[in-house]
Each structure stands twice: as structure tokens, then as C-alpha cells.
Amino acid sequence: MSVLPTDSLSTPRFVGLPSFMRLPMATELQGLDAAIVGLPSDSGAPFRTGARFAPNALRAMSVMLRPINPYRGHINIFEVLRVADAGDATCVPGYEIESLAALERALDAVVEAGAVPFGIGGDHSVSLAGLRAVAKRHGPLGLVHFDSHTDTWDSYFDGKRYSAGTMFRRAIEEGIVDPARSIQVGMRGSLFQPADVSQSVDLGLEVITCDEMFALGLPETARRIAARSAGHPAFLSFDLDFVDPAYAPGVETPECGGPTARETLSLLRSLQGLNLVGCDVVELNPSYDGPGQITALLGATVMAELLAILAEARVRERSR
């Protein structure tokens, strides 16, 4: 039996505390297909901080979304999937390592209950908590990573190994990401070192830079993403700075010259055949988003598209 969100044709969207897409708050994780989980930690942020306020900012704009996705056969996400908003994981601000552990514990509960976690960051280091929790159940994961940066550096300030710029190297080292089934898309902009991008290739990842993505075209890019993970359990991580700052000003590390929101959504809507076992949308920073909060809206829209990928997959499974 499905649990439906509040109907925005009956009750105005501004009524009530804003859960993700006006879903019910989870009172019980068992039986859910997917759970929205806020991951409000920003201790991994090397520059702009404040992503701790992102989960609620994204939720506040998600009330504008409607349950039916016309890009995947007019599927009603919440008739297919039982989804609830599981609230936020806790964290320990100023203590990155302890924060990741706290997030991981909350995500463990979601994964153990059999639900796919859809995390709302937080800075990008929260993905490490997600990958750890999900890999416990599914083994080494294919990573599908949208970003303008590779986040495969080795360490940051004072040699610290855990931050929003290093977590995917850590995940490969920890054996929870299988680079051979993983892909990074959208890299662009100036570099610290000549190897900022090639270091990912050296780690075994496939990389499609932003320029390469446009040279290939979006449909071919989508095809390559699917081919790379090839049905293997995949964790999709979407850093909002993948998109141009005009569409996503409210992020930690904006990088000029990215795709538009239409291009981005078109790419996500054409992804086929992914076996999503975990997702996150990260790096929203509402303090830099302006009164229109368009980054938060885009983040919520991306999350809804990720839910639709899972919903469509489940429809296919059931129709077999």
C-alpha cells in the first residue's frame, strides 16, 4: 500500500512543516522502498560552510513538486514506491570524522530496513557515510558521480584525509566503490595540479569532463553512464555544482561554465537501466542561494528525478 504526499490542490503548499515533497514523516523504516534522509553536516567543507541548513532548505522548496513524472511514462512515484521522509541524521559539527560516523549509523538503519536511502547533504563528504552504509548490504558499489570536481584528492589542510574533496579516494581505498563500475561526469574549470582530473582515471574511474559531455551529446553520455555500471548496484551522487552557477548559485564551490538546468534534467531523465541502491544530492548552501532559492528547488527536482529512476525500475521488475 502506498503512502501519498499531501495533495497541493487541496491544502496549500505553505501549510504544515515542509517534509520532502510533503511526504509523511517516517515513524517506521520497515516496509519502505525509499527513505529521504537529511545529512546536515558541513564539517568537510573547505570553503563556504552552511550546508548544515541544506536539508530543510531543500525540503522547503520540494513542496512545489508534484508526484507524477511525465518523463518516465507519467509514473506516479508514490503509487509505485513507498517513500517517507526519515528526518535527519545527527552529526558533530566541527568534528568531521565523528560526524561521518554519526551519519553512517543513521543510514545503516535505513539500509538495514531494506529501504534505498536518498540523502540530502550536507557537504559532499557525507557521501562517504552513504557509501559505507549501502556497501555493507550490497558490496562494492558502482559510483555514478555528477560534479564539476573529481573529489579524489588525497588530503587537504594539515594532511587531513576526510573532507569534501577526498571522499571518493577514501571510498576506493576502503573497497566500497568499485572504480571499474564507476564514472564521474561534468568536470571543468581551473586545476590545482595537472592531475586533478587524471588522478581519477589513475584510480580506475571513467571520467567524462563537461566538454567531453557536450562533445558526446547528452544521450550518448547517458548511455555511457548506464553501460559503466551495467546493472550493478549503483550509488548516484549529485553535487549541485555540476550545474552552472546561474542555476545553482547556492553551493559551496561554484564553477562557471556548466550545463543548464534543462540540460542537466534532460540527462537525468534519459538515464536508463540503473540499479540504484543509494543516492544523494549534496553541496546545497542556502545562505548563498538568494531569495528565489532556485538551487534548493533544483536540488529537490533532481532528487525527484532520482526517485523516478527507482520507481521506473521497480515497475519494470514487477512487470517481468
**C-beta of 48 vs 223, nearer to a copy of itself:** 48
**C-beta of 96 vs 280, nearer to a copy of itself:** 96
Interface positions, 212-241, toward a copy of itself (CB under 8 A): none
Q: Can you tell me which of 2, 24, 31, 70 binds a copy of itself, judged by CB under 8 A?
A: 70
Query: Contact between 186 and a copy of itself (CB under 8 A)?
Result: no
Query: Contact between 309 and a copy of itself (CB under 8 A)?
Result: no
Considering only CA atoms, which of 245, 124, 251, 230 is closest in space to residue 178? 230
d(CA 293, CA 311) in angstroms, rounded, equals 27
Query: Contact between 242 and a copy of itself (CB under 8 A)?
Result: no
Is 202 known to sit in a ligand binding site? Answer: no
DSSP string, 214-249: HHH-HHHHHHHHHHHHTTSEEEEEEEGGGS-TTT--
Query: Contact between 253 and a copy of itself (CB under 8 A)?
Result: yes
Query: Contact between 24 and a copy of itself (CB under 8 A)?
Result: no
Query: Contact between 265 and a copy of itself (CB under 8 A)?
Result: yes
Cell of 145: 558521480
Query: Contact between 294 and a copy of itself (CB under 8 A)?
Result: yes
Interface positions, 41-60, toward a copy of itself (CB under 8 A): 42-50, 52-53, 56, 59-60
d(CA 94, CA 98) in angstroms, rounded, equals 9
| Part of the chain binding a copy of itself (CB under 8 A), chosen from 107-115, 140-148, 158-166, 226-234 | 158-166
Minimum CB–partner distance for residue 249 and a copy of itself (Å): 3
d(CA 264, CA 319) in angstroms, rounded, equals 29
d(CA 78, CA 81) in angstroms, rounded, equals 5
Q: Mark 129-151 as b/e (b = at least 16 C-beta within 10 Å).
A: bbbbbbbeebebbbbbbbbbbbb
